[in-house]
């Protein structure tokens, strides 16, 4: 039985943040004509083609720059990274390989793909969710780390 | 080059959305992925909000073939559901579950000055490069086989 943690659940902020993410994806789609799939935007830069670089770098710079804009108005929200360095390296390698092999991540398949009602992206999203659920279950409840 | 500024702005809004929603914090993402512990459903509502708006955006995009400024809208063309899609996505999910980071939030966390996020992203780009090299060598060997060498 799933038990909801009412102390950490933040429905309002989650919905509001989600709306902003949806607006950002819509903006990129209707002005730049591109899908906001972050692993693809980043990964394609590894084999760059002429005229297809600037918008990618600009989008990524916007993502990295978001906290700098945020602190003009408010204190940054807490970011807690429990994973140690070896786990982070391993996780990074796996995410890098998996997102390219599966052609997308949470943004490209999860947000944009489902928004355009792509069955392919729905399957991808269910697959990475399943992978995530199982991994956290193994780490937290079987291995007990 | 022309629309790099709008692309930058889109990345900025995306990043602020991740900060507002709490998704730039791996602890919160792992709270969602931990179904057997005390569960934090926030990530599901982030998806609901983003897809709710995205549905409208893609509906508009589907009715026109060009952007508001007349350049083509480029949508993914692949439709096949194959081993590659499923295995790749499960693999990504495993990595996501280990650290609680997916690509977007990790980039935002770099901007927040998190060294650990930088280590994750450098490793992620290395993983992407490894995949790229593997793909190229596979393509090359397929071509060689086709030529009968």
pLDDT digits (tens, 9 = 90+) for B105-135: 999 999 999 999 999 999 999 999 999 999 9
B36 touches A: beta carbon within 8 Å: yes
Determine phi and psi for A94, rounding to 5 degrees. -65, -45
Quickly count: other Cβ atoms within 10 Å of residue A67's Cβ: 23
pLDDT bracket for residue A135 (50, 70, 90): very high
Q: In the predicted model, is pLDDT for residue B81 greater than 70?
A: yes
Q: Is residue A5 part of a domain?
A: no
Higher-confidence residue: A83 or A2?
A: A83
Q: In the predicted model, is pLDDT for residue B149 greater than 70?
A: no
Residue B149, CA distances (Å) to A5, B135, B137, B143, B144 in order: 61, 20, 15, 9, 6
pLDDT bracket for residue A20 (50, 70, 90): very high
Q: Which residue of A has its CA nearest to B123?
A: A92
Q: Is residue A39 part of a domain?
A: yes
Q: Which residue of A has its CA nearest to B26?
A: A81
Look at residue B70 in the predicted model and tell me its pLDDT.
85
Would the CB atoms of A35 and B40 count as touching at under 8 Å?
no
DSSP state of A76: P
Would the CB atoms of A110 and B47 count as touching at under 8 Å?
yes
Give contacts of B138 with chain A, Cβ < 8 Å. Answer: none
pLDDT digits (tens, 9 = 90+) for B133-143: 999 898 888 88
Q: Is residue A2 part of a domain?
A: no
* B50 vs A82, A111, A120: nearest CB: A111
Query: How many domains does one find in chain A?
Result: 1
Among residues 41-80 of chain B, which lie with CB inside 8 Å of chain A? 41-58, 60-62, 66-69, 71-76, 78-80
CA distance A144 to chain B (A): 12
Look at residue B146 in the predicted model and tell me its pLDDT.
74
CA distance A116 to chain B (A): 5
Q: Is residue A94 part of a domain?
A: yes
Instruction: Measure the CA–CA gap between B146 and B144, rounded to whole angstroms.
Output: 5
Query: How many domains does one find in chain B?
Result: 1
Would the CB atoms of B90 and A128 count as touching at under 8 Å?
yes
Look at residue B140 in the predicted model and tell me its pLDDT.
87
Q: In the predicted model, is pLDDT for residue B18 greater than 70?
A: yes
* DSSP letters spanning B20-36: HHTTT-HHHHHHHH-TT
Instruction: Measure the CA–CA gap between B109 and A65, rounded to whole angstroms.
Output: 10
pLDDT bracket for residue A100 (50, 70, 90): very high
Q: Is residue A29 part of a domain?
A: yes
Q: Is residue A18 part of a domain?
A: yes
Q: Is residue A26 part of a domain?
A: yes
Q: In the predicted model, is pLDDT for residue A145 greater than 60?
A: yes
Would the CB atoms of A29 and B8 count as touching at under 8 Å?
no
Complex ipTM value:
0.97
Alpha helical stretches, state H, A1-145 = 11-27, 38-43, 54-73, 85-101, 114-115, 119-137
Sign of CA pseudo-dihedral B29, B30, B34, B37: negative
- In this structure, what token pair is assigned to residue B126? 């290395």
Domain of residue A85: give its range: 11-143
Q: Is residue A6 part of a domain?
A: no
B111 touches A: beta carbon within 8 Å: yes
Look at residue B143 in the predicted model and tell me its pLDDT.
83
Would the CB atoms of B28 and A4 count as touching at under 8 Å?
no
Q: In the predicted model, is pLDDT for residue A51 greater than 90?
A: no
Would the CB atoms of B120 and A115 count as touching at under 8 Å?
no
Would the CB atoms of A9 and B40 count as touching at under 8 Å?
yes
Domain of residue B108: give its range: 4-147
> What is the mean pLDDT of the segment spanning A104-119?
98
């Amino acid at each position: 039985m799933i038990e909801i943690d009412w102390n950490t659940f933040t429905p309002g902020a989650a919905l509001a943040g989600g709306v902003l993410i949806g607006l950002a994806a819509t903006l990129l789609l209707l002005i730049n004509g591109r899908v906001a799939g972050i692993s693809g935007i980043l990964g394609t830069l590894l084999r760059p083609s002429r005229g297809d670089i600037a918008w990618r770098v600009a989008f990524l710079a916007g993502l990295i720059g978001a906290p700098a804009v945020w602190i003009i108005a408010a204190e940054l929200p807490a970011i807690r990274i429990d994973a140690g360095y070896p786990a982070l390296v391993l996780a990074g390698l796996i995410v890098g390989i998996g997102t390219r092999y599966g052609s997308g991540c949470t943004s490209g398949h999860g947000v944009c793909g489902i928004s355009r009602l792509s069955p392919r992206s729905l399957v991808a999203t269910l697959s990475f969710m399943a992978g995530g659920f199982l991994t956290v279950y193994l780490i937290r409840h079987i291995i007990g780390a | 080059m022309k629309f790099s500024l709008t692309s930058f702005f889109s990345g900025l809004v995306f990043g602020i959305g991740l900060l507002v929603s709490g998704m730039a914090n791996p602890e919160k993402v792992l709270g969602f992925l931990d179904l057997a512990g005390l569960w934090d459903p926030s990530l599901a509502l982030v998806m609901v909000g983003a897809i709710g708006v995205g549905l409208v955006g893609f509906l508009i995009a589907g009715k026109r073939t060009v952007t508001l400024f007349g350049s083509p809208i480029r949508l993914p063309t692949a439709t096949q559901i194959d081993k590659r899609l499923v295995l790749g996505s499960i693999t990504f999910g495993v990595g996501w579950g280990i650290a609680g980071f997916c690509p977007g939030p990790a980039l935002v966390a770099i901007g927040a000055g998190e060294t650990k996020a930088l280590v994750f992203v450098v490793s992620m780009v290395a993983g992407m490069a490894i995949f790229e090299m593997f793909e190229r060598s596979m393509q090359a060997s397929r071509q060689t086989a086709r030529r009968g060498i």
